[in-house]
Amino acid sequence: MGNNKSSFLEEELQEYEDLTFLTRKEIITAWSRWEGLIGSNVANNKATRYPAETIEELPELKHNPFRDRILRVFSSQRDHKLSFEDFLDLVSVMSDKAPLQLKAYYAFHIFDYNEDRTLDGSDLSIVVDKLTGAEELLQEQKKKLVDRLLEETDLDGGGISEEEFKHLLTKCPDFVHTFRFSI
Amino acid sequence: MASYTHTVEVENIPLNEISGNHSSSSDDEHSHVNLRRARTDVHLRERHNRESTKYHSYSGRERRVQYMLPSQHGGELLSSHTLHYGSEHRQSAWFNTVMARRRRGVSPNTEDEAVEELADAMEGDEKLMSENVDGEIMRREVLRELYKPLRVKKEIRRRLTARRSSHRYSSRTISRMQYLKYTLSMRWYKIRQSVLDTFHDYSLWHKEIKEIEGTFGTGVGSYFKFLRYLFLLNLTIVIIVCGFLLTPQLLARLHDDTSMPHTTTDVPVTTGATPLGFSFKNVSGKPGTVRVVSNSPATTSVAGTRRPTSLSTTTKKVIPSIENDDTTKVFGPLDWLTGAGWFESTELYYGTYRSDSFSLMKDVHYNISRAYFFVIFLAYVIYLIVILHRVIVLYKNNYIDVEHDMSASFVKKVFSSWDFSITEKKAATIKHRSIYNELKELLQEFLSEEQEEGWLRQLAGWCIKLLFWAIVLVSLGLLGWAMYAMLKSGIDKDIITKTDSSGFGPLVYPLIVTCIIIIVPWVFGIIVKVEGYRIPRHRLYVTLIRTILLELTVLGVLVGFWYMHAVDPNSTTHTDDSNTNKGIGDFKILSESLQEADYCWETSLGEEFYRLLIIDFFVVVIMQLATLIFFVATQKQITKGKIHHYLLEFDISRNTLHLIYNQTLLWAGLFFCPLTPVIVLLKITIMFYIQKFSVLKFLQPDERPWRAAQTETVFFALTLVSLILSFLGYGFIIFRGNASSSCGPFQGCHHYIDCLWNAANNNEKKVLNIFSWILKPGVVAGILGILFILVYCAKSIAEGRAEMIKVLRRQLELEVRDKAFLLQLTDKVRRGEYRPASPAHIRAASPPRSSPAAPQDLTQRSSFVFTDNKVHPVHVEPEPRHFSDYTDAHSSDRYSP
């Protein structure tokens, strides 16, 4: 770890520490993971952006059915590329210390496939598809599921809104246990 | 009448004020009178009738309009800090500033604008910008929790710092003192943070647990985290026990040795030195040199000279073997397993501890018997507080706060089912399959919900469950009786055959117990499947409760047996005989001196616990080995049946229960064998690595879904139950139990507590009185009662809140319908289907402050009145209008009377 520390300026490290939920060590680990993804000699600039396909190789993302969405949501310029700082954002949100509301905000946008700021029937059916993976539910089963989902939660019609989603997850203690990984 | 006015009241604004101006239609009045009532009814009817289609779903155009509403933009900016649920409900000033801008319809277009806006707003927030530590911390938190990419946060932070420093420069009002205070408290904050971070970074087994979670998901991870939790907890206790009990005791021994050297026993020390020192080192984890000396017969003979009549049985066993110069008898290889023989003379057991005080320095006395009492008591109290705290926190988070809002159980299953920590393909595939199964199960549940079961069937179901419970309880009772009988016959056999207690004999009982503890839960698992609990979670809970009952039965019988054995005078003489006869023939003098001394039942019980712990460990290791061999043997087979799967599956609940069983053993045996925490600690450490190895190398993850949060609570609750029972048992023994009169720290007293009584001076007596008062049954019942009342109160509050949630929910739905209605209306107006009323009319119909023209008023619900001036074609008689009209255009006729 010793030589990795030199890739950061002291102020830089301090800044990252202040702005994320990560500890100093975790930031340095994140950097070495990042270097592992894109090759260590290429980048020393934290703002250089790399295509999402490179970052997808991270084991934590590789098998995640929502990886394309995750990378899209965390790409700060919506250009299908990520910089180290975006990556740090991702790691910070996924860390244990990030509050539920923050996690819920990002989870909402990850699940919002058509990006219309509501989770509606079409979003949910994609989510269910992704969750079950290779073994797909029958069309009618899926429809029943999605209908039921919306009926249970959707108060104002037209899908689950962000606030509703956040409220929902505050009532769901399992969410913080699953929406996380440690670097 | 050409125009028709429909006034809708959202909040309680006096109706007359508005409708008084145009008292034209009578049905208008009608719709006002029962407005609230009618809404609810309509709403409920509707929901019932049109099950899945939403009554207020928007069409495409309205939807677009919907996004223009200010509320749709609010969420984007909310940082979680402002929404903290619980104590902090007020939103901070900067946030309100931004929201006010949004309401005015101002929203930033580019990122720079957004940064500028946020920075400005934060700048204006006095509390946030205050020059003290609170402000500093708050700034940090706010920025951290902002829903913006890191780049934006960085920019905002930079601006804030720049402005702050220029601000500070311009107004040099802070005094030197204040500055010093600020720096100091800031430094303190930083130090605290970094200590916390260090604990976080270097938490025990961090890497291992991460690896396991990656391959197996959080379910298995939770088992390992529980293991780590117990490890840390036990470690604390080990430190306390070693520091305040073991060390003084050893020092006392050492002290006696050096002050009264005995020449006669010098030789055996040297012969016995290496094996003894070495072996003991493994048990206690401390350097062996002290023990070697302490273990020498010198001590025993010292004890003998001081207290010639009270030589304990343990002394007897050591002396003969040493004088025979047969070191293997001093420490037989089997002693490892049985915990008898040589171990009996070590600090492992109750019997060896001294009853007197010693002093290393002048006038400083350390009373071991008191230390013994207080250390053990303290250990129990620490365990109790820590675990109770944990249970309360978990219960609050996972049950009270959650339970009453069950409406969304299904959504939870979807949104929190994927485990983001998975890093392996195999685990991902299994997770997919498990989610698939769970969703299918849920669908089936819906189906069965729809077709209600007949009461006869339900009754039959209940009968079956009751029957099974009865069977289980009766068989547990029988099992307990059988154990008792076995223990008794074991003792009797000892007397008849006069076998040496250090042989394999004593191992039979713990072996059987361990087998029972491992096999019977499997049987329970099979039984519960037959019983037909529909919900898998109930199945798990029932199995858990039964398993815990089983463990308590087994341990209860064990402790109860030895206790009765000690109390019952007949049996004591029996054991006396057995003990004296067990000795090797030529120690008649010693045995005679032992005649009056009775058997040290605490040590025997401690040995039992030792054996249970050790045997359990070996059985687990052997089972793991067997599984490994099985795995290797069947690896090449292509067809892998169900049994294969079952054997190679990591069952989280069974393994966690096993941990709880271990912990229960610790608590039950703590008083009789004060070093159990050390043993359990070592065991847990070894178990961690064994389990890790087997999990990562050849076991399969469990395919059943594992709901970590609630199940964890149940496990902790079970742990707490077993702890409380052990604690009560301990209290009972302390106050009512008969102490062995010839061994241990409480020798010479009838009850344990008497010793403390005798030794204490007035001041301490007061403390003791308080102790005994606390432990009185009435007081204990009172405390429990208060706890129950508190829990009840918390629950009722939660229920009240649940009611409130229901009411608010309904309210929200109504408001949403209002919104849908308004959107439709504005859309219609735009398309020209509605003609707005003349300006004069609007002025008359509504007070100016609530004119719908200003967009910011739309969100201020309290002053929102909408006037619908619809121009109907002249030739059509206006239909009576009702609230239900504004759901949507096509269905309006369906709900109007």
- Tell me which of B873 and B424 has the higher pLDDT: B424
**A70, A126: one domain:** no
**A62, A123: one domain:** no
- Chain B interface mutation, best of A70, A85, A101, A142, highest count of B Cβ atoms under 10 Å: A101
In the listed set A64, A93, A122, which residue is the last one of a domain according to the structure? A93
Indicate the residue of B150, B213, B433 with minimum beta-carbon distance to A88. B150
- Residue B11 is predicted with a pLDDT of 38
**Which residues of chain A neighbour B52 with C-beta distances below 8 Å?**
147, 151
Instruction: Verify whether the Cβ–Cβ distance B157 to A168 is below 8 Å.
Output: no
What is the pLDDT confidence band of residue B476, given thresholds at 50, 70 and 90? very high
- Residue B403 is predicted with a pLDDT of 53
**Which residues of chain A neighbour B411 with C-beta distances below 8 Å?**
149, 152-153, 160, 168, 172
- Residue A43 is predicted with a pLDDT of 55
Query: What is the total count of domains within chain A?
Result: 2
**A41, A84: one domain:** yes
Nearest chain A residue to B208 by CA distance is A182
pLDDT tens digits, one per residue of B196-244: 877 777 777 888 888 888 777 777 888 888 899 999 999 999 999 888 8
pLDDT tens digits, one per residue of A83-114: 888 899 899 999 888 888 889 889 999 998 88
Please indicate, yes or no, if residue A183 is contained in any of the structural domains. no
Q: Which helix (H) or strand (E) holds B67?
A: helix B60-67
For residues B4 and B373, give the distance between their C-alpha atoms in angstroms, rounded to a whole number.
88
**A88, A107: one domain:** no
**Which residues of chain A neighbour B79 with C-beta distances below 8 Å?**
102
Indicate the residue of B143, B410, B411 with minimum beta-carbon distance to A19. B143
**A19, A75: one domain:** yes
**Which residues of chain A neighbour B801 with C-beta distances below 8 Å?**
none
Indicate the residue of B67, B149, B200 with minimum beta-carbon distance to A86. B149
- Residue B847 is predicted with a pLDDT of 52
- Chain B interface mutation, best of A93, A122, A132, A164, highest count of B Cβ atoms under 10 Å: A132
Instruction: Verify whether the Cβ–Cβ distance B57 to A64 is below 8 Å.
Output: no
Please indicate, yes or no, if residue A117 is contained in any of the structural domains. yes
- Chain A interface mutation, best of B150, B397, B424, highest count of A Cβ atoms under 10 Å: B150
**A105, A87: one domain:** no
pLDDT tens digits, one per residue of A43-94: 567 778 888 888 888 888 888 889 888 988 888 888 888 888 889 989 999 9
- Residue B844 is predicted with a pLDDT of 55
**A19, A62: one domain:** yes
Instruction: Verify whether the Cβ–Cβ distance A178 to B416 is below 8 Å.
Output: yes
Instruction: Verify whether the Cβ–Cβ distance B210 to A24 is below 8 Å.
Output: no
Q: Provide the sign of the torsion angle of the four alpha carbons B310, B315, B320, B322, taken in this order.
A: negative
Indicate the residue of A117, A172, A182 with minimum beta-carbon distance to B72. A117
In this predicted structure, the answer to whether residue B812 has a pLDDT above a threshold of 60 is yes
**Which residues of chain B neighbour A171 with C-beta distances below 8 Å?**
401-402, 405, 408, 412
In the listed set A93, A126, A158, which residue is the last one of a domain according to the structure? A93
Please indicate, yes or no, if residue A42 is contained in any of the structural domains. yes
Query: Interface pTM (ipTM) of the complex?
Result: 0.89
Instruction: Verify whether the Cβ–Cβ distance B439 to A132 is below 8 Å.
Output: yes
In this predicted structure, the answer to whether residue B893 has a pLDDT above a threshold of 70 is no
Indicate the residue of A25, A145, A173 with minimum beta-carbon distance to B201. A25
In this predicted structure, the answer to whether residue B444 has a pLDDT above a threshold of 80 is no
Please indicate, yes or no, if residue A61 is contained in any of the structural domains. yes
- Tell me which of B791 and A156 has the higher pLDDT: B791
- The tokens 């309904």 sit on which residue? B810
B799 CB contacts (<8 Å, ≥6 apart)?
A: B404
Task: Tell me how close the Cα of A6 comes to any Cα of chain B, in angstroms.
Answer: 19
For residues B120 and B103, give the distance between their C-alpha atoms in angstroms, rounded to a whole number.
17
Least confident of B40-54, B282-296, B587-601, B875-889: B282-296
**Which residues of chain A neighbour B219 with C-beta distances below 8 Å?**
none
In this predicted structure, the answer to whether residue B598 has a pLDDT above a threshold of 90 is no
**A126, A65: one domain:** no
In this predicted structure, the answer to whether residue B302 has a pLDDT above a threshold of 50 is no
**A164, A111: one domain:** yes
Task: Tell me how close the Cα of B311 comes to any Cα of chain A, in angstroms.
Answer: 58
In this predicted structure, the answer to whether residue B783 has a pLDDT above a threshold of 80 is yes
Q: What is the 3-state secondary structure of B506-519? A: HHHHHHHHHHHHHH
- Residue B231 is predicted with a pLDDT of 92
Indicate the residue of A64, A107, A173 with minimum beta-carbon distance to B397. A173
Mean predicted confidence (pLDDT) in B255-271: 47
Cβ contact B408:A153 at 8 Å: yes
Instruction: Verify whether the Cβ–Cβ distance A137 to B439 is below 8 Å.
Output: yes
Q: Provide the sign of the torsion angle of the four alpha carbons B509, B513, B519, B523, taken in this order.
A: positive
Instruction: Verify whether the Cβ–Cβ distance B402 to A18 is below 8 Å.
Output: no
For residues B56 and B888, give the distance between their C-alpha atoms in angstroms, rounded to a whole number.
7
pTM of the shown model? 0.69
Indicate the residue of B405, B415, B421 with minimum beta-carbon distance to A181. B421
- Chain B interface mutation, best of A56, A154, A178, A180, highest count of B Cβ atoms under 10 Å: A178
Cβ contact B402:A170 at 8 Å: no
Mean predicted confidence (pLDDT) in A12-39: 86
Instruction: Verify whether the Cβ–Cβ distance A157 to B58 is below 8 Å.
Output: yes
Three-state SS at A101: helix
pLDDT tens digits, one per residue of B248-259: 888 887 777 666
Average pLDDT for chain B: 68
Indicate the residue of A155, A168, A181 with minimum beta-carbon distance to B816. A155
Task: Tell me how close the Cα of B109 comes to any Cα of chain A, in angstroms.
Answer: 14
Please indicate, yes or no, if residue A13 is contained in any of the structural domains. yes
At residue B617, φ and ψ (nearest 5 deg) are -60, -50
Cβ contact A117:A164 at 8 Å: no
For residues B441 and B410, give the distance between their C-alpha atoms in angstroms, rounded to a whole number.
12
Indicate the residue of A89, A100, A158 with minimum beta-carbon distance to B66. A158
Of B824, B14, B17, B24, the residue nearest B6 (C-alpha): B24
Identify the CATH number of the domain in which residue A107 sits: 1.10.238.10
**A138, A70: one domain:** no
Instruction: Verify whether the Cβ–Cβ distance B140 to A18 is below 8 Å.
Output: yes
pLDDT tens digits, one per residue of A145-180: 888 777 777 666 667 888 878 877 877 777 888 888
- Residue B500 is predicted with a pLDDT of 47
Q: Give percent above pLDDT 90 in chain B.
A: 4
For residues A104 and B241, give the distance between their C-alpha atoms in angstroms, rounded to a whole number.
45
pLDDT tens digits, one per residue of B630-653: 888 877 665 556 666 666 778 888
Mean predicted confidence (pLDDT) in B107-123: 78
Instruction: Verify whether the Cβ–Cβ distance B423 to A145 is below 8 Å.
Output: no
Task: Tell me how close the Cα of B53 comes to any Cα of chain A, in angstroms.
Answer: 8
Mean predicted confidence (pLDDT) in A3-29: 81
For residues B735 and B727, give the distance between their C-alpha atoms in angstroms, rounded to a whole number.
12
In the listed set A93, A127, A145, which residue is the last one of a domain according to the structure? A93
- Residue B239 is predicted with a pLDDT of 92
Mean predicted confidence (pLDDT) in B770-784: 78
pLDDT tens digits, one per residue of B150-160: 888 888 888 88
Nearest chain B residue to A172 by CA distance is B412
- Chain B interface mutation, best of A172, A175, A179, A180, highest count of B Cβ atoms under 10 Å: A172
Instruction: Verify whether the Cβ–Cβ distance B418 to A153 is below 8 Å.
Output: no
**Which residues of chain B neighbour A76 with C-beta distances below 8 Å?**
149-152
**Which residues of chain A neighbour B811 with C-beta distances below 8 Å?**
none
Q: Provide the sign of the torsion angle of the four alpha carbons B740, B551, B692, B615, taken in this order.
A: positive
**Which residues of chain B neighbour A25 with C-beta distances below 8 Å?**
197, 201
In order of A105, B51, B55, B805, B810, the CA distances from B44 in angstroms are 32, 11, 11, 17, 10
**A12, A42: one domain:** yes
User: Beta strand B366-367 with B357-358: parallel, antiparallel or unpaired?
Assistant: antiparallel
| Chain A with chain B: Cβ pairs closer than 8 A | 233
**A10, A81: one domain:** yes
- Residue B477 is predicted with a pLDDT of 92
Q: Report the alpha-carbon angle B865-B871-B874, nearest 5.
A: 150
**Which residues of chain B neighbour A99 with C-beta distances below 8 Å?**
80-81, 84, 145
Indicate the residue of B151, B412, B440 with minimum beta-carbon distance to A85. B151
Instruction: Verify whether the Cβ–Cβ distance B197 to A24 is below 8 Å.
Output: yes
Please indicate, yes or no, if residue A154 is contained in any of the structural domains. yes
Indicate the residue of A59, A148, A174 with minimum beta-carbon distance to B709. A174
- Chain A interface mutation, best of B112, B411, B447, highest count of A Cβ atoms under 10 Å: B411
Instruction: Verify whether the Cβ–Cβ distance A134 to B432 is below 8 Å.
Output: yes
Cβ contact B679:B667 at 8 Å: no
Q: How far is CA B253 from the centre of its chain?
A: 42
Least confident of B142-151, B377-386, B694-703: B694-703
Instruction: Verify whether the Cβ–Cβ distance B418 to A25 is below 8 Å.
Output: no
pLDDT tens digits, one per residue of B311-336: 333 333 333 333 333 333 456 666 67
In this predicted structure, the answer to whether residue B272 has a pLDDT above a threshold of 70 is no
Instruction: Verify whether the Cβ–Cβ distance B709 to A177 is below 8 Å.
Output: yes
What is the pLDDT confidence band of residue B473, given thresholds at 50, 70 and 90? very high
Domain that holds residue A167: 100-178
- Residue A154 is predicted with a pLDDT of 65
Instruction: Verify whether the Cβ–Cβ distance B149 to A144 is below 8 Å.
Output: no
Task: Tell me how close the Cα of A108 comes to any Cα of chain B, in angstroms.
Answer: 9
Three-state SS at B119: helix
